[in-house]
Amino acid sequence: MAVCTGCSLLCDDIEVTLESGRIARTKNLCRKGLGRFRSLYSERASPRADGSEVDVGDAISRAAEILSGAKRPLLFGWSNSTLEAQQAGIALARKLGGVIDDTSSFCQGPLMELVIRGQMPTGTLDDVRNFGDTLIYWGSDPTSSHPRHMSRFSYFPRGEKLQKGFEEDRTAFAVDVRESPTAKIVADGYFQIPPGGDAEFIEAILSVLDGKMPKVQDKKRMISFVTTLKKAKMGFIFPGLGLVYSLKDRLDLFSQLVARLNEGVPFRVIPMVGHYNMRGFNQTLFEQTGGINQVSFADGEARRGQENGIISALDSCDAALVVGSDPVSSLPAAFARKLAKIPVVVMDPHRNLTADLARVVIPTALSGLEAGGAALRMDGVRVELAPVVEGASPSDAEVLARIREVV
């Protein structure tokens, strides 16, 4: 059995058939996961420094030179690396007196912070499968982003207390701007909201909970929705980027809703983390520094602050190490442009836009396929990864350790 690192579900029931060392057939991988497995054989990165092909050793030395020469290096990425690589990355940031941040900074970070700090009731996906009878996919579309979420854990499987499965035992809702594939599956449970309409939707639920008339068009439907929520034996909310981006600074409104629901029945929250080990990075950094992301080690002391988040740090950092991430693709062009202006070192299994403009590229093993380690699933459950095939490149953890030796 292999583990898929295509998303933060880390499906561990993947069967792989090898033919002369190459993956020939797979079972149980979804289309997205299959894409990850096949990426073994496409667009692999090759070592480069200052515009020329070099060997990995030279690329590592050049990387170390750039990073130790920087006053305030930014170490970014991490959500596509193993826990071991994340540890090594934090150690390197500490030694360099640099800034460390991950993709959660402009993604699920604000919500994940509440979960990790214990300020938001949460549970595991196994709890969802066994006990979750009332589900809300909120601003998330697992069918597209975490394709096996509904079949492995949340909606379709039979559970300990839910032997009849979805037909009778579970009720699912989707709250979304877009009638996504998930919204189509839950059919009558879909609530369409306008862009940015999440706060109003929360207020409407709170009104009903207070025994007041909700300020929405279809009052009857809203009341019956809230009645269902109040009858849950164990409810789960799966918030996606849709909710986080819409609420932004008003996330407390969501906390308030969860707290209110919990006065009556247990309602848990599992954020729909995208990359396979974002949760792992947030948790590891939190344990070591008290911050889940956006930490600076300048003057030998760990300090958390927004100025260390990639969005702000791009104005103050004078070099960057990017690991397993492609911020030039995923950031708004204005920020990608700032990154293009400083020397960048990229560690990645694949060629990407950030690698294309980097000073140094160090190819690395694809974790879970060419290198082992461990990772935390979106719900915090630890999953061990073992290599499936032999690769030519060192793992992230190995490269980071070698850089740390020489800086």
Partner 1 sequence: MVGAMEIYQLTPKINCKKCGLPTCMAFAVALLAKEKNIEDCTPLLEPKYEAKLKKLREVMAPLASASETGLIIHDEKCYGCGNCVVACPVNVANDPRGSAIGLGPKSDKVILMVEDGVVKCLNPKECRRFGPNRIMCNLCTSTCPSKAIEFV
Partner 2 sequence: MAELSVLVVTFRDIFQSEAQEAGRYGEEYRKASALILLDRGDADRAGIKDGSAVTVASDAGSVVVNAGVDQESHPGVAFMPNSPWSNQLVSGQVGPSKIPEFKRIEARLSSASGPVLKIEELLLGIVQG
- Interaction site with partner 1 (CB under 8 A): 13-15, 25-35, 129, 143-144, 147-148, 150-153, 155-159, 165-167, 181-182, 184-185
Question: Per rule CB under 6 A, is residue 204 in the interface with ligand SF4?
Answer: no
Residue 155 dihedral angles phi and psi, to the nearest 5°: -115, -50
CB of 276 to ligand SF4, least distance (A): 7
Site stretch for ligand SF4 (CB under 6 A), options 5-13, 123-131, 245-253, 314-322: 5-13
Total residues found in the chain within this entry: 407
Q: Which of 26, 32, 302, 318 binds partner 2 (CB under 8 A)?
A: 32
Q: How many other CB atoms sit within 10 Å of the CB of residue 52? A: 8
Residue 217: contacted member of ligand SF4, partner 2, partner 1, none (CB under 5 to 8 Å, by partner type): none
Residues between 27 and 46 with contacts to ligand SF4, criterion CB under 6 A: 29-30, 32-33
CB of 148 to ligand SF4, least distance (A): 4
- Which has the closest alpha carbon to 28: 64, 5, 4, 58? 4
Question: Per rule CB under 8 A, is residue 35 in the interface with partner 2?
Answer: yes
Report the C-alpha gap between 108 and 377 in whole angstroms: 14
Structure tokens that stand for 5 in this block: 């690192």
Structure tokens that stand for 152 in this block: 């492995």
Report the C-alpha gap between 189 and 176 in whole angstroms: 11
CB of 351 to partner 2, least distance (A): 7
Residue 145: contacted member of ligand SF4, partner 2, partner 1, none (CB under 5 to 8 Å, by partner type): partner 2
- Which has the closest alpha carbon to 280: 127, 90, 93, 141? 90
Residue 77 makes CB contacts below 8 A (sequence gap 6+) with 102, 103, 321, 322, 323, 324, 325, 327, 347
CB of 193 to partner 2, least distance (A): 11
CB of 298 to partner 1, least distance (A): 46
CB 375 within 8 A of CB 383: yes
CB 284 within 8 A of CB 83: yes
Residues between 257 and 286 with contacts to ligand SF4, criterion CB under 6 A: none
Q: Which of 2, 11, 344, 375 binds ligand SF4 (CB under 6 A)?
A: 11
Task: Pick the closer one to ligand SF4 by CB: 182 or 352.
Answer: 182
Q: What is the DSSP string of 281-300?
A: HHHHHHHHHS-SS-EE-GGG
Residue type, 395: S
Structure tokens that stand for 306 in this block: 């927004």
Q: Which of 62, 129, 148, 359 binds ligand SF4 (CB under 6 A)?
A: 148
β-pairing, 267-269 vs 235-239, is parallel
Report the C-alpha gap between 213 and 216 in whole angstroms: 9
Question: Per rule CB under 8 A, is residue 28 in the interface with partner 2?
Answer: no
- Which has the closest alpha carbon to 402: 54, 64, 99? 64
Residue 27: contacted member of partner 2, partner 1, ligand SF4, none (CB under 5 to 8 Å, by partner type): partner 1
Task: Pick the closer one to ligand SF4 by CB: 289 or 367.
Answer: 367
Residues lying near ligand SF4 in the complex (CB under 6 A) = 4, 6-7, 9-11, 29-30, 32-33, 146-148
Residues lying near partner 2 in the complex (CB under 8 A) = 6, 30-32, 34-36, 38-39, 42-43, 105-106, 110, 141, 143-145, 147, 177-180, 194-196, 241-242, 244-246, 248-249, 306, 309, 311-312, 326, 328-337, 340, 350-353, 356-357
